[in-house]
Chain A
Amino acid sequence: MTRWLFAPVPKARIAAFRTLVYLFVPLDLVLFSAWIRGHGNLPGSLYRPLVVGRLLHLPTPTHLIVDAIYYTLIPLSLLAATGRAHRLLGWAVFALYFEWMIIAMSYGKVDHDRYALLVALAVLPTAGRARHGDGIPTEAGGFALRATQIAVICTYFLAAIAKLRYGGLAWLTGATLTRSFIRRGTLPARWLLRIPGFTTVSQVCIVGFELLSPIVFFVKPRTRYLIVAGFYLFHLLTFCLITISFIPHQIAMAGFLPLEKVTPITWLRRRRAGRNGRTAPAEVTTTNPATSGEA
């Protein structure tokens, strides 16, 4: 079990995942969940503090607080995307984004599409120093990705449990998808509503896939990538039908992929070195004592 939990991954994968996650955070603030910023304009009477907000004595969000987090988080996250000062910047981004999420979820509606991203942000500062193109395997990095993967699969599996807890078996034959298709469905969704039994069959398939999702940890890499591709396809279909993107979850799910094989940074470095008339620096393959040991 611990061998599985700490299965090493190349440092380059951590560097790539770090860049992806920390570049996503500003995009999320500005683009994907721009509505959160609007909470700064809402009166305190609509604030419904979460348990964590009460335990930490967090203040009721105001325009000033929301803007302060917004304008601090964006540059800090961009800096963190470089991989420098990974602990200091990583923890700062985690703390600010967590508070941003608390502000988001403290007005009566709680979403679960960010659980895995929050876990990714919590573990990335512990993943150790990592450079793009660095092939040295790291256990701290392996754990960070494994924890993120577990959170991704928890999001599916425990969503099925919640459906059975709140909806019971009636969820399978109920009108939940019909409801979402009517309330926020696109044209194709409205068209699909005309097919008798379509939503019921889809609901059975959704719960089935959610309950079976942990299988991804017990299959060979090739099958695993196919299953993860299936997850991405599911979110693409969901977006096309009810415009729910689950994009933060999808970013965290990239922790399943061999991201080190996408190498724009290494390519840029080589290109720059080539322009300067020097040979490209070889990929680091030896252990640097300064960076080994616990992250």
Chain B
Amino acid sequence: MERLSTRGRVLRVAAVVVFGALTLAGTFRGDDTLFPFAPFRMFSTADKPNEPVLALHTDGIDTTGRRIELDERNAGVRRAEIEAQIERFKADPSLLHSVRESYAARNPGKPPLVEVDIVEVRHHLRHARPTGDVTEVVLARYRP
């Protein structure tokens, strides 16, 4: 048996107490900025059962007129990140030029984008089940 010294035990217990307290404080009082002690809040908001589900997607239109859905793979954009900063994009659509450049960097040789749109798709619900009705709204549009 390989035993720990008293010092080794005390240090480890102290670390558990400190990191445990920070984690609990983050969960009960903190916000996302406290990562890694942020609340464990993925999927934690309660969506209303009779209000539409909103889903954003980022689209690009290239010089040939083709509409491409932009994602992590082809443009390095995550939907959740766009959603988290949507108010900034609405206020200043020119921020989307970075998405256009990121697409160009990842797709050398492909036609460049002449437009980047953030589109909100609304799926209507009744009693937490989709009714089948879907509407789309452009929230931010950037044309270089």
State the A residues within 8 Å of B (CB). 2, 5-6, 8, 11, 34-35, 37-39, 41-43, 45-46, 48, 50-52, 98, 101-102, 105, 107-115, 118-119, 126, 128, 136-141, 143, 147, 150, 154-155, 158-159, 161-163, 165-168, 170-171, 173-176, 178-180, 182-183, 193-194, 196, 199-200, 287, 291-295
Are the CB atoms of B128 and A174 closer together than 8 Å? yes
Are the CB atoms of B48 and A175 closer together than 8 Å? yes
Q: What CA separation (Å) do A34 and B125 show in the bound complex?
A: 34
Interface residues on B, range: 35 or more
**Which residues of the other chain, A, contact B73 by a CB distance below 8 angstroms?**
34-35
**Which residues of the other chain, B, contact A173 by a CB distance below 8 angstroms?**
49, 128
Known interface pairs A43-B98, A109-B81. Does A137 touch B44 (Cβ–Cβ under 8 Å)? Answer: no
User: Nearest chain-B residue to A291 (Cβ)?
Assistant: B2
**Which residues of the other chain, B, contact A119 by a CB distance below 8 angstroms?**
19
Contact pick for A175, options B20, B36, B125, CB 8 Å: B125
**Which residues of the other chain, B, contact A105 by a CB distance below 8 angstroms?**
32, 35
Which residues 13-53 of B have a CB within 8 angstroms of A? 13, 16, 19-20, 23-24, 27-28, 32-36, 38-49, 51, 53
User: Nearest chain-B residue to A200 (Cβ)?
Assistant: B128
Q: What CA separation (Å) do A116 and B47 show in the bound complex?
A: 28
Give the interface SS of chain A, mostly helix, strand, loop or mixed: helix
Q: What CA separation (Å) do A114 and B24 show in the bound complex?
A: 16
**Which residues of the other chain, A, contact B16 by a CB distance below 8 angstroms?**
5, 147, 150
**Which residues of the other chain, A, contact B1 by a CB distance below 8 angstroms?**
8, 136-139, 287
Of A112, A170, A199, A291, which is in contact with the most chain B CB atoms at under 10 Å from its CB?
A: A112
Contact pick for A50, options B33, B41, B43, B127, CB 8 Å: B33
Asked if B143 is at the interface (CB within 8 A of a chain A CB), the reply is: no
Are the CB atoms of B8 and A109 closer together than 8 Å? no
State the B residues within 8 Å of A (CB). 1-5, 7-9, 12-13, 16, 19-20, 23-24, 27-28, 32-36, 38-49, 51, 53, 55, 72-73, 75-81, 83-85, 95, 98, 101-102, 105-106, 123, 125, 127-130
Are the CB atoms of A112 and B13 closer together than 8 Å? no
Q: What CA separation (Å) do A5 and B125 show in the bound complex?
A: 48
Are the CB atoms of B128 and A115 closer together than 8 Å? no
Closest Cβ of chain B to A206, distance in Å, is: 9
Are the CB atoms of B42 and A113 closer together than 8 Å? yes
Are the CB atoms of A110 and B4 closer together than 8 Å? no
Closest Cβ of chain A to B35, distance in Å, is: 5
**Which residues of the other chain, A, contact B7 by a CB distance below 8 angstroms?**
294
Are the CB atoms of B47 and A175 closer together than 8 Å? yes
